[in-house]
Each structure stands twice: as structure tokens, then as C-alpha cells.
Amino acid sequence: MTVQTPRRASSMDRDAVKAPQRSAPAGPPGAPPKGGKKAKKDPIWARMALIFGAVLMMASGAGIVGTKWMVSSATSAVTQDDLLGGTKKTAAEGGNSLKGPIDLLLMGVDARKRWAVDDLRADTIIMLHIPASHDQAYLVSIPRDTEVQVPAFAKSKYPGGTTKANEAFFHGAQNGGGWAGGAQLMAQTLKNTTGISFDGAAIIDFNGFKGVIDSLDGVRMCVDQRVKSQHMVKVGGKPMYLAEARKTGKSQTPIWHEKGCRDMEGWEALDFARQRYGLKNGDYDRQRHQQQLIKAMAKKASTSGVLTNPVKVNALIKAAGKAFVLDTGGVPVADFIFTLKGVAANDLVLLRSNNGSFAGNGSGRETITPKTMEMFRAVKQDKLADFIIGNPDVVAKEK
């Protein structure tokens, strides 16, 4: 496999779309064919950005539908904010161009109405890496319990300290830091830990995420281990969060996710992807299931006719607007569309960190294994494809 080329400089316009700081959640966030011509492929970023409420393209890859209207609608539907702060890629790293590798930080939070806005942790931390060839995409999860050194952060008056990776978001959100502060401190912590800077970022509100999945009329998921839900039960046949179910005073029925592949509604797919207790490899299995969910959504968006149905497109954009906060690093969203239109859903590779098992350090926290640190260096150097050839075990099984 060819080593990717380095990022090149560009004079691309980087005027960011600015919005007020988000201090509260908006809702409950291949080989070419014979003949020499390269096959047209479904654009994964277009579908990922569709999920993020940003942009849409035709599933056939033949062209962009209503470009101006869709980009305008998407950017107005999704809250945009500065989620990266000083961790944006510098000009020397190719920060003024999309012609090289692209790295995005995805953070998942559970923003329920009864919880304070700043009482949140990013229990899902995923890096999305796209090499300079723009024909592949990789998802790398950061274990939530990884012990990290979180730097001081003036915005939230945090003095700095040693803690778990998922708590960096919490410390950045305190004292008025809000979601943007949480994301900025998380990005800085990860940059210090892995050496990776980012082109863009997104905060995903799990509760709003349900609406996005429902707008896709559900997704197909494969359950590899029977697991009991730790978050939800059924009351009168209706799925409810435990706290809400207790208030009803009615009898509760446990929810079990049974083994097998099936179509899932939003609540079921999201609940399954959030389980970690009762799984063989705990949080590592959860990481893999969350990666699977993202890929399942990308596939569903490209094969169900959603992208060519204006009514479904509109509903999806509205749902996404309640589920995400987006930062494109100042690069116009339309530029992402044209740059990444060659990446297909089947080219989304799921990668395991720490060999897919808990790497404890004796204090209930984890350390990053040497191989995983090597993988992070491969991401930074845009040599991830070569690393995978030498370490095929880092690729996660999808079933």
C-alpha cells in the first residue's frame, strides 16, 4: 500500500461561520473498473456531514443536489462554534488546506434535561482520520478511562491535573466554559497525549442522536453479545430511561439486546451502542459498537433513498440540528464536499486501541499501549495504511 503524500499549502478561504457559544443543549445532541475510469462511489463525508447536519450529496455520487440551498439549510440548522481553540492544525501542518490528510475529533455527551449543562463527560471520544488520498476513512476510539494529563484551562479556571480522558470535557465546561470549553480542553488534552492536531470537531448529544437515526427510519445493527440495558427498561411496552420509569410507579420490564442482526429503531440502536457493563471487553466492545453505529448510519443514508427525497432530507437536517455542535476549522463546508467526494461507506475502517482490552495501570485507569501510541504516530504522519498492513489485528471485527 502506498504511503500517503504530505499535506500541501493552499490559499483556501478560511472564514469561519461564527455562532454564539453553546451553553446548553438544543434538545433531549476500491480498484477502478475495466476501461480505465475510476468507479463513482458514495461520498462518506457527504453522508457523515449529512449526519452532522452539514451537507448532502446524491447517493449515486453523480453530482450535488441543490448545493447552495442544502449547504445554507444545513449550516443554519446546526450550531457552529469554536470547539478546537488552539488545537487547530497550523499552517505548517497543512491547516490552510484540505489537500492533505484530514483529522476530525468526535465527542459524544449524554445531555439529559435533568442534568446541569456543565455536568457532562465525553464518554465517547473518536478520531476520524482521512488520508491525503481521500479514498479511505478510519475511526479510532480513545478509551474513556485512559489516564491523561489535562492542561490548565483559564476559560473554566481549571488548574490542570491528572484524570481520566472523559473528564477533560467536564473540567473545560465548568465556570461558564460550556460545551465549547469542554471540547477545547478535550482537544488540547488529546493533542498533548497523542501529538495529533485537528481540522474539525463535532459534539454529539446522544439524546438528539436518536432523532437522527429515526429520520433514517432506523439502521441495521448486529448484536454480537447478549447484553442487558443498564440505562433503559420498558413500562407498558414503551422504552423509558430508568429515572423516568421509576416516576411512573408502574412495573418495569428489563430490556435485553439479543444476539443477531436486525433493523433497529433509534432508541434501540443508541441504547445498544451505549452499553459497556456485561460485555466481554467492557468499554472496548462499546467503542466498537459505537463505530458500527456510525458506519450503519452512513450506509443507510446512501441506500435508503434519503438523499434524493427532499422531505426526508429536510427532516434529517432538522433532527441533526438538535444533535450536533460543529466546527469545520474555518474551512467552508462546501469545500469538504468536493474534497472528500471519493470516500465511500465501505471504505470506513474501524480500528481498535489497546488491542481491544483493558490496559489497567493498577488505579482503575488505563495507559495507552506502545502499539497504540505507534498507531497515533501513524495517524499524525499519515502512514496509517502502512501501519495496518504491519499490524492487521488493530482492525476491529464488525460482527
Any bridge partners for residue 220, and if so which? 263
Is residue 371's pLDDT more than 70?
A: yes
At residue 340, the pLDDT reads: 65
Per-residue pLDDT tens over the stretch 176-197 = 998 899 999 999 999 999 999 9
Main-chain phi, psi angles of 320, to 5 degrees: -65, -35
From CA 123, how far away is CA 170, in angstroms rounded? 10
Cell of residue 97, nine digits: 488546506
CB 60 within 8 A of CB 162: no
Taking residue 226's Cβ as centre, other Cβ atoms within 10 Å add up to 12
Cα 203 to Cα 24, 32, 139, 178, 218: the distances in Å are 12, 36, 16, 12, 21
| Burial environment of residue 311 by CB neighbours within 10 A (0 to 12, 13 to 18, 19 or more) | exposed
Is residue 255's pLDDT more than 50?
A: yes
Closest C-alpha to 121, from 185, 65, 36? 185
Cβ partners under 8 Å of residue 273, min gap 6: 221, 286, 289, 290, 292, 293
Is residue 366's pLDDT more than 80?
A: yes
- Sequential DSSP letters for 284-327: HHHHHHHHHHHHHHHHHHHHSSGGG-HHHHHHHHHHHHTTEEEE
At residue 195, the pLDDT reads: 93
Q: Among residues of the chain, what percentage have pLDDT more than 90?
A: 34
Domains and CATH numbers, the chain: 44-217+306-391 (3.30.420.590)
From CA 232, how far away is CA 310, in angstroms rounded? 34
| Most confident range, picked from 92-96, 98-102, 170-174, 291-295 | 170-174
Is residue 198's pLDDT more than 70?
A: yes
Is residue 39's pLDDT more than 70?
A: no
Cβ partners under 8 Å of residue 68, min gap 6: none
Main-chain phi, psi angles of 7, to 5 degrees: -70, 140
At residue 315, the pLDDT reads: 74
Per-residue pLDDT tens over the stretch 322-343 = 777 878 777 766 566 556 666 6
Is residue 117's pLDDT more than 50?
A: yes
Is residue 357's pLDDT more than 90?
A: no
Compute the Cα dihedral for 385, 390, 391, 393 and give only its sign: positive
Strands 253-257 and 227-235: antiparallel
Eight-state DSSP code of residue 394: G
Any bridge partners for residue 129, and if so which? 103, 138
What count of residues does the chain have?
399
From CA 310, how far away is CA 148, in angstroms rounded? 45
Of the pLDDT bands very low, low, confident and very high (cuts 50, 70, 90), residue 114 is very low
Of the pLDDT bands very low, low, confident and very high (cuts 50, 70, 90), residue 108 is confident
Taking residue 71's Cβ as centre, other Cβ atoms within 10 Å add up to 19
Selected residue with higher pLDDT from 140 and 59: 140
From CA 370, how far away is CA 212, in angstroms rounded? 37
Closest C-alpha to 231, from 256, 251, 212? 256
Of the pLDDT bands very low, low, confident and very high (cuts 50, 70, 90), residue 59 is very low
Among 140-149, 183-192, 369-378, where is mean pLDDT lowest?
140-149
| Most confident range, picked from 83-97, 265-279, 362-376 | 265-279
Of the pLDDT bands very low, low, confident and very high (cuts 50, 70, 90), residue 57 is very low
Q: Tell me the mean pLDDT in the region 220-232.
A: 95
Of the pLDDT bands very low, low, confident and very high (cuts 50, 70, 90), residue 1 is very low
Is residue 17's pLDDT more than 70?
A: no
CB 80 within 8 A of CB 17: yes
Sequence-ordered alpha helix ranges (H) in 102-241: 167-173, 178-194, 206-215
Selected residue with higher pLDDT from 211 and 320: 211
Any bridge partners for residue 137, and if so which? 348
